[in-house]
Amino acid sequence: MSGFSFTVEARDGRARAARLETPHGVVLTPVFMPVGTAGAVKAVLHRDLREIGASILLANTYHLMLRPGDALVAGLGGLNGFTGWDGPFLTDSGGYQVFSLAALRRLDDEGVRFQSHLDGSSHLLSPERSIEVQQNLGADIAMAFDECPPGDAPREAVAEATARTTRWAKRSREAHRRSDQWLFGIVQGGVHLDLRDESARALMQIGFPGYAIGGLSVGEAKPGRDRVLEHLDPVLPAERPRYLMGVGTPQDLIECVARGVDMFDCVMPTRNARNGQLFTSRGRLSIRNARYRDDPRPPDPDCRCPTCRTASRAYLRHLHQAGEMSAATLMSIHNLFHYLDTMGAMRQSILLGRFEGWRGETLRRLESVDQDGS
């Protein structure tokens, strides 16, 4: 397809460093994608995202379909023209809302009938409609429509959802027409290795330029997640990108890169920031703690982000306690920088053949320090 390539530049164990070229720019992996559900990363300007090193953003098909509408976005130049972000976008398929909005939907082979959480209006999101929306949004990377069962779903329900995901993937592939957009298939199957294997092989037979791994951030235990990733590593094509959806903490990202994953997204850095929690090289820090009332130190003395260069813990605590909007902005910038910087350090360690040493040292530091970031 025009303007796309994916090249693995180095391996260290299962960990990979690669270069993903898209029509809107180059993405160096492993990569973390900030979540911009409605076309914007909450509380953070595009200018600041560029400054802290973000290269690709994630936007949400379901939410943008409902508001402002995918046809409107298409008429204003797609997500890039509409939002002003000149780098790559990835859009999810709306399949996660099959899981998260279960109380507002009915599901069958045709698709999912939603009752809008905004105004109660009824909508059908099928594989064909999901692809239509994503083509209108014009993201560089789109996702096949899938069913994501809960982490505690019984095996029979997981098997049914996995089979439906395969059928929907085929319909998604047949509906997809844009040559300037990559479409990824999504591997489902819960923590059942045989179902994961069946799903991956069926998707590979359909044929996609990249593969996402879904259903591993919906309540399952981390050992189960890790077993699935280790199982899929030799199954999925080594020359195609791999995207683990909705995961996780910095420690999670390190462990998943160690198991062959290239791409990640998660709301944690921005959601936790709005709740006053900061990720630092010395553990997590809750800015609401009274001990920071007069603390002149930056959130993380070892961090180079704009927030740590200019704001003290005392000031951030004051802003958060006062309900100032700038608190969310400053702390979101810090958390996103921490995630992006961690990915950059991981990539460098892989290129240098030092990933395992870096991984062990980093995890020990995060696990051995006071979890209040002191």
How confident is the model over 102-115, as pLDDT tens digits? 666 788 999 998 88
Same structural domain, 293 and 161: no
Average pLDDT over residues 170-180: 98
Q: How many CB atoms lie within 10 A of CB 347?
A: 22
Count the domains in the chain.
2
Picking from 216, 242, 265, the residue at the C-terminal end of a domain is: 265
Same structural domain, 231 and 309: no
Percent above pLDDT 70 for the chain: 96
More confident site: 9 or 94? 9
Same structural domain, 332 and 232: no
Picking from 238, 265, 292, the residue at the C-terminal end of a domain is: 265
pLDDT on residue 27:
98
Same structural domain, 245 and 289: no
218 found inside a domain:
yes
Closest CA to 104 of 95, 89, 96, 114: 114
The mean of the pLDDT values for the chain is 94
> What is the C-alpha separation between 188 and 215, in angstroms, rounded?
6
**What is the span of the domain harbouring residue 129?**
5-265
pLDDT on residue 163:
98
How confident is the model over 25-49, as pLDDT tens digits? 999 999 999 999 999 999 999 999 9
Same structural domain, 141 and 216: yes
Same structural domain, 229 and 277: no
pLDDT band at 231 (very low <50, low <70, confident <90, very high): very high
Average pLDDT over residues 203-215: 97
372 found inside a domain:
no
CA distances from 321 to 269, 276, 317 (A): 19, 9, 6
The region, left, alpha or beta by phi > 0 then psi within -120 to 50, assigned to residue 19 is beta
pLDDT of 370 higher than 50: no
Average pLDDT over residues 295-322: 98
Same structural domain, 63 and 211: yes
> What is the C-alpha separation between 89 and 110, in angstroms, rounded?
28
Picking from 265, 286, 309, the residue at the C-terminal end of a domain is: 265
How confident is the model over 331-353, as pLDDT tens digits? 999 999 999 999 999 999 999 99
In CATH, what number is assigned to the domain containing residue 44? 3.20.20.105
pLDDT of 309 higher than 50: yes
216 found inside a domain:
yes
Q: Crossing angle of helices 250-257/325-351, nearest 10°?
A: 20
Closest CA to 252 of 367, 373, 165, 86: 367
Average pLDDT over residues 47-74: 97
CA distances from 124 to 109, 168, 227, 261 (A): 12, 14, 35, 32
Same structural domain, 73 and 220: yes
pLDDT on residue 295:
98
12 found inside a domain:
yes
- Parallel, antiparallel or unpaired: strands 111-115 and 122-125: antiparallel
pLDDT band at 319 (very low <50, low <70, confident <90, very high): very high
Which of the residues are catalytic?
Answer: 92, 265
Residue 21: helix, strand or coil by DSSP?
strand
Average pLDDT over residues 219-244: 95
Same structural domain, 329 and 255: no
Same structural domain, 259 and 287: no
